[in-house]
Structure 1
Amino acid sequence: MIKTRLLALPLLALAPLMLAACDDAATTDGAGARGEPLPAVAPPAGQQWTNVVTITPEGGYMMGNPDAPLKLVEYASHTCGACANFAKTGKEPLKNKYVASGTVSFEQREIFLNPFDAVIATLAQCGAKEQFQPLSDEVWQNLETVFTGLQGNPQAVQAAGALPLNQRFVAIGEATGLLEFFAARGLSADQGRACLADTTKIEALVKSVEANQAKDKVTGTPTFFLNGQRVEGTTWDVLEPALQRAGAR
């Protein structure tokens, strides 16, 4: 059984740090000149690009035209306040204006700041692939409620963290209210428990996440890449000009 650094970390020691652990810096690189507009790409008959989801070789969930000329990747943590800010301010225009045009695809990849991230990501990935990003956005839209659950029952969380791996994540999901949170959004508690009991899959997920983070030298969340180049900023008012300079409209 793979023993990863993340799965060995104590849960409670990380809980007070989660809001400060991600990168809230709103750095900008200026609007700059706009590039020539890229022509829109029609989706397959009867479909919309915002409903087309592909799981990439890196394990990310990509929304939109798989062959889009502009490929935006976000490395994000579900317990990151700056990621929540992007979800609240940038996701709708990104999807409805740019992804919908077929010129931009948007891929979300995981970063785990703490073991809770692994539990949340496992639940978000538990259902149909088309539900992953909507469920992630539900977490970010309700992050205060999620944090209340994560920090509201420390004794039960501590006890869960001491259980064997094949019991640990189900117990964490119950103690933190995460199973209930996702059940209210369409993922049944039984389905959630089954996914959280699949420790082989969770360990593979953690290993993949850690490999991606090391490969792309990601040190904070959110971190964005556009066509493989790091975007120097974390907010929509930085990302949109970067997309427009590349030709998105």
Structure 2
Amino acid sequence: MSKPAPVETPTAEHQAERTEYARTPRTTPTRYKDRATWERARIHAILDTAWVCHLGFVADGAPVVLPTIFARVDDRLYLHGSTGSRPLRTASGAAGLPVCVTVTHVDGLVLTKSAFNHSVNFRSVVAHGIAEQVTDPDELAVALDALVDHAVPGRSGDVRRANPKELAKTAVIRLVLDEVSAKTRDDGADDDPEDQDLPFWSGVVPMATTYGAPVPHPGTTRELPDYLHDFQPGERKADV
């Protein structure tokens, strides 16, 4: 498999040497700063166990936020789209497209004795930068394989690859992970001292994503592939 074409800044070597991303005003929260982290391993783990991101940008002077699928390869985030979509048309220009990409996991509902203190346990990532369309054929092939394997590891080697007509309708934009941070909450109910004796239930309702048994499409004669046996999201990519 060919490797993606080099990106000028930041270099892959520079990123590999860093255990944390640089802190900037845009990646430093104004509230609950203790919940933030810039650790690369932690940020990558949150990204790698999510399926959908939200891509924010400005179009015609107005904010737009679109859900889309994505995949991470090293310090690159690849986002899938159509060649006719607004973000792809803008990202193909020389200046690229300023974007904000977010990913969020909800891990629990936090119920407290007061309505005000209700919350959720979560893991989230926010990344800022300039998105550019991937035009190099070798990098595009890597990106498209990564998008398929992000959902089901090993799947890209077990399907028909895209033909020229399909490739002409498909576009991918790249965001180099440089200005990025994560924020998490993993705690119990935070009741105020004066509420402790109130006769209401408080606690956490855990939440998790699971898979059902694969259902073959009518006419499928092949047995279930090994990579789909006992397929669970927690097993595909370990969190940190």
- TM-score bucket (shorter structure): under 0.3
Q: Which has the larger radius of gyration?
A: 2
Higher relative contact order (CA 8 A, sep 6+): 1
With the length of structure 2 as denominator, give the TM-score of the two structures: 0.23
With the length of structure 1 as denominator, give the TM-score of the two structures: 0.23
Name the structure with the higher strand share: 2
Name the structure with the higher helix share: 1
